[in-house]
Structure 1
Amino acid sequence: MRIRLFYILSFLPLFHSFSQTIRINEAISSNSVFIDEDGDSPDWFELYNYGSQEISLNNWTVSDKDDNPDKWTFPDISISPNEYLLVWASGKDRGNSNTFRTLINWGDEFKYIIPDSNTPSNWKNPNFDDSGWQSGKSGFGYGDGDDETIIPNGTLSLFIRKTFTLNDVNDIESLILDVDYDDAFVAYINGIEIARRNIGGNPPLYNSVPFTDHESALYRNGMPDRITITNLDDIINSGENTFALQAHNVSNTSSDFTIIPFLSVSLNGSDTNLGVTPPEILGLNSDVLHTNFKISSSGENLSLYDDNGNKISELNVIGIPADVSIGISNNNNIVHFSNPTPGFENSLNYFQGSNLTNIIFSNEGGSFTGEISLSLSGTSGNEVIRYTLDASEPDQNSLLYSEPIDIKETTVVRARVFETGYIPSYTQSRVYIYNVNHTLPIISLITDPDNLFDNDDGIYVFGDSYDQNYPH
């Protein structure tokens, strides 16, 4: 069956621009690429002021329901001529009335100890006496450029503690923990575990080792891992609180050890006396906008209204695969973008639509004996099927399907539908396993060979500039 989405503005008015010079310029309903300040990848849309005057959005609204036009209200912000405004459709309901403050920052002083079997199990609790511990500033490590406090090479774990003060817990909307680490950690507030990465144990012992190695990110201009805590019941108190963290190295022969924690809060007010302004590397700024709704992946209409309730713009966000956006082209047509650009000018490379055709395999795969004559069908019109037999993703240069494929040995078949002017369909894969001589269940995992063996991206290849020391 052939399914494809295209847009001809004169016949199918999915996009309207009204008296104001603001429009919904681009949107996505299934995003896994672009990350918000919490480390999540929610839906998003973008507004664009194509006029010559600054326009205030104060008390404007946006909605995904025509019968509820004031579903989410913009705060007191303006959009300048030729400016793009990114809005996350996350369901988190945040405007610039929210304030982010950082309570624990890179370079703050902690109490710390290299633990052993005699370290008390209550070391993470608020009433623990850490006066005998050493003091040092974060980050902690072996002294490779991102460390303020040097610990001995061969250290397997490190326990750190620090207190912070909250004026009123009712002002706290969420806690935001960012941690740059090599190789694992567990974090606590007032003795309660709030986050962990890459290690087991309840809690891990002082000499527990991570599941695998994990490289720190900040020294490579990357982002620390982020965990957002919104259920704050029984975790924090008004007044003094205790943050504690145990960091673990993959082995005592590892060449590196890193732990740099940040703890921030999202406030529903503007208590600028609390903590400090978040460092730029965290990307926490107070003008990040989040609606109180998400965009359905099955498609729905977005509408923008001014402060008098007049509909200003709308965009029907429908028929787009994951990580593909829909928006307005440079000639004012509704098109699909394979390279979305949230908050920036839309790409000049676009498509009429996205191909959603489902390929029908005459054999669904699994074990077989003898020979299979595999037919691929489901296309119509100008659609064609291209396929590969080496587990790679099919592209426009892959084999063109024109006759049944003879399969006489274990084979991976991957296929996509192509049509001029349209984003190709998603890749569909089947595995045919020849002459299985057992009855055990079989699980097949398929990935492009480059993900394993490419010199730059392959996980089994050292590459040109790998570190001679483990973990390379």
Structure 2
Amino acid sequence: SSITIDIGGMWLEDAANPPWQILDDRPAETTIGPYGYLLIWADDDIGHTPGLHAGFKLDKDGDQISLYDTDGTTLIDSIIFDDQDANISYGRYPDASDDWYNMPDPTPLLPNTVGMAATPYFSHPGGTFATNFSLGLATKSPPAQIYYTTNGDEPTTGSTLYTAPFTVNLTTWVRARAYEPGLVPSPIVSETYIKLDPDVQSFSSNLPIVLIDSFGANIDNADRSHHPISMVFIDTDEIIGR
């Protein structure tokens, strides 16, 4: 905004806690100059100094935060967000626009930097399987393109472009990354699907089972660099004991 605003006396609220009123007796800390910024820590640590600390803590697994005027009922702004990653901010880009992005370089009290493409997600969680299935990849940003690999390499724009679900019929390590024009590529995400041989599918044990797949590599006790593997731990059932 081009004007000076004192947000003292306004209210902040998340999805699970009572509204918290921004202190109205510290104008030096609650006044925002023209095109300026103000930082409030949503950490439920109101006694901490210096700085403004809200009386609630946001949930990194998804939450909502809303700003109300001093009357406590007039909504000024609100945002609902889903799972958040450590050291990655989520905000408007460019500032004051209606577009929200993940940003790999948080910039408190400064303009938001270029956003990051939304992280892809998988239609099936990793683990074991006995029957072939169709695997889909998706992202919450329609303009984004997803590239993936199944050989362990990091996905780049030179990798396979995802266009439709594909069949997983053997042990497969899928790594995916989203790219979107003008944005930083998303983090690389991966899932491993271990196919069980018929003689293993009916195996039963009263001890926990650990399945390890080296993707065809011969792993012995010789000195060598690290090699990626996939491991699945299957615990016994608490009721039947197997």
TM-score by length of 1: 0.33
Distance 1:62 1:384, change over 3 A: closer
SS of equivalent residue, structure 2 residue 38: strand
Distance in structure 1 (CA, Å) of the matches to 2:22 and 2:95 = 29
1:88 to 32, 36, 41: 41
Distance 1:328 1:81, change over 3 A: same
Q: 2:92–2:100: 8 Å Cα contact kept in structure 1?
A: yes
1:342 counterpart = 2:108: yes
Which residue is equivalent to 1:73? 22
Which residue is equivalent to 1:377? 136
Distance in structure 2 (CA, Å) of the matches to 1:432 and 1:399 = 21
Distance in structure 2 (CA, Å) of the matches to 1:341 and 1:58 = 23
Distance 1:51 1:385, change over 3 A: closer
Distance in structure 2 (CA, Å) of the matches to 1:398 and 1:318 = 30
1:300 to 64, 69, 73: 64
Distance in structure 1 (CA, Å) of the matches to 2:103 and 2:75 = 27
**Pairwise CA distance, 1:365:** 4.3
Which residue is equivalent to 1:62? 12
Q: 2:133–2:168: 8 Å Cα contact kept in structure 1?
A: yes
Q: 1:303–1:314: 8 Å Cα contact kept in structure 2?
A: yes
- Greater RCO, CA 8 A, separation 6+: 1
Distance in structure 2 (CA, Å) of the matches to 1:310 and 1:406 = 56
Distance in structure 2 (CA, Å) of the matches to 1:375 and 1:342 = 42
1:427 to 189, 196, 200: 189
Distance 1:344 1:383, change over 3 A: closer
SS of equivalent residue, structure 1 residue 441: strand
Distance in structure 2 (CA, Å) of the matches to 1:87 and 1:414 = 37
Distance 1:400 1:356, change over 3 A: closer
1:325 counterpart = 2:87: no
Q: 1:90–1:291: 8 Å Cα contact kept in structure 2?
A: yes
Q: Deviations over 1:394-421 (max 9, x none)?
A: 34443224654664xx652223566668
Question: Which amino acid is 1:412 matched to?
Answer: W
Question: Which amino acid is 2:38 matched to?
Answer: L
Distance in structure 2 (CA, Å) of the matches to 1:434 and 1:329 = 49
Distance in structure 2 (CA, Å) of the matches to 1:431 and 1:358 = 12
Distance 1:334 1:418, change over 3 A: closer
SS of equivalent residue, structure 1 residue 84: coil
Q: 1:359–1:428: 8 Å Cα contact kept in structure 2?
A: no
Distance in structure 2 (CA, Å) of the matches to 1:395 and 1:406 = 24
Unmatched 5+ stretches in structure 2: 215-224, 227-242
**Pairwise CA distance, 1:311:** 4.0
**Pairwise CA distance, 1:426:** 6.9
| Residue correspondence of structure 1 range 187-226 to structure 2 within 5 A | none
From the CA coordinates, give the structure whose radius of gyration is larger: 1
Q: 1:413–1:430: 8 Å Cα contact kept in structure 2?
A: yes
Distance in structure 2 (CA, Å) of the matches to 1:58 and 1:312 = 15
Q: Deviations over 1:336-362 (max 9, x none)?
A: 132332221111x236x846654347x
Q: Deviations over 1:43-75 (max 9, x none)?
A: xxxxxxx3343x444433322269955x23325
Distance 1:88 1:374, change over 3 A: same
SS of equivalent residue, structure 1 residue 442: strand
CA RMSD, 1 decimal: 4.5
Instruction: Give aligned-pair identity as a percent.
Output: 20
Distance in structure 1 (CA, Å) of the matches to 2:154 and 2:76 = 38
SS of equivalent residue, structure 1 residue 326: strand
Q: 1:337–1:350: 8 Å Cα contact kept in structure 2?
A: yes
Q: 1:327–1:334: 8 Å Cα contact kept in structure 2?
A: yes
Distance in structure 2 (CA, Å) of the matches to 1:52 and 1:291 = 24
Distance in structure 2 (CA, Å) of the matches to 1:91 and 1:325 = 20
2:50 to 277, 281, 287: 287
Q: How many pairs are equivalent?
A: 196
Moved more, 321-330 or 433-442: 433-442
Distance 1:431 1:391, change over 3 A: farther
Distance 1:334 1:411, change over 3 A: closer
**Pairwise CA distance, 1:290:** 1.6
Distance 1:427 1:386, change over 3 A: same
